[in-house]
Amino acid sequence: MRLFVALGLPEAVSSQLAGLIGGIPGARWVPPENYHLTLRFIGEVEPWRAEEVDEALAVIRAKPFDLTLTGLGLFEKAGRINALWVGIERCEGLLRLQSKVETALQRVGLDPERRRFAPHITLARTERAAPDKLISFVQAHNLFRAPVMRIEEFCLYSSKLGKEQAVYVPEVAYPLAPAGLVPAVWDGRVDPAPLPG
């Protein structure tokens, strides 16, 4: 299985992002149903390892938080612009959750993530697009801002190759809970751990 941990987007926000699509010849636009904010890419794992990952993520405790998408940018690799993305306003809740996910995955034996966490939503793959068109597009939309969205869960996704694009499937959702709320059963598992205050 090819896995990653991410936040999904509300339909209203995905629709707003989809409204940005177009106007860049050569860009491969991400379908709106595939929009997500990656917390940690895992990659190919055996079924037994996937079970360990699920168990590690299920015991993470974190509070819900608000997230705002704002601004556009470009990623470059080896001198070529390879992705167009929407940025995320700095959010301590997001950074705490990502840190907890990273720690949990290292505890089950995954190698540490070497890249610095740079939260974003990928809108398009742009290896074949003209740099001047991309730069103009970013400048034209750099005041983009989505409504605040409340994040109340994170998900373990699988990635399956499709004919045109990869298909991302949310396999397990892990709810975030307000401080002090201790459910008797958490996603089908008994939860003995109290939440931090």
Q: Is 36 labeled as catalytic in the residue annotation? A: yes
| Digit-coded pLDDT (tens) for 121-133 | 999 999 999 999 9
What pTM does this model have?
A: 0.86
Q: Percent of the chain at pLDDT above 70?
A: 90
**Residues with Cβ within 8 Å of residue 114, at least 6 apart in sequence:** none
Q: What is the mean pLDDT of residues 90-107?
A: 97
Boundaries of every domain in the chain:
2-190
Q: How confident is the model at residue 9 (pLDDT cuts 50, 70, 90)?
A: very high
| Digit-coded pLDDT (tens) for 12-28 | 999 999 999 999 999 99
Q: How confident is the model at residue 179 (pLDDT cuts 50, 70, 90)?
A: low
| Digit-coded pLDDT (tens) for 28-75 | 999 999 999 999 999 999 999 999 999 999 999 999 999 999 999 999
Q: Which two tokens stand for residue 98?
A: 């990502």
Instruction: Please tell me which residue in 120, 134, 172, 174 is annotated as part of the active site.
Output: 120
Q: Kindly report the CATH class assigned to 2-190.
A: alpha beta
Q: How confident is the model at residue 79 (pLDDT cuts 50, 70, 90)?
A: confident
Q: Is 141 labeled as catalytic in the residue annotation? A: no
| Digit-coded pLDDT (tens) for 143-167 | 999 999 999 999 999 998 877 778 8
Distance separating alpha carbons of residues 193 and 8, to the nearest angstrom: 26
| pLDDT (0 to 100) of residue 197 | 38
| pLDDT (0 to 100) of residue 183 | 46
Q: What share of the chain is helix, strand, coil (3-state, %, to 5)?
A: 25, 35, 40
Question: Taking Cα atoms as reference points, which of 78, 165, 83, 79 lies closest to residue 127?
Answer: 83
Instruction: Please tell me which residue in 6, 13, 27, 36 is annotated as part of the active site.
Output: 36
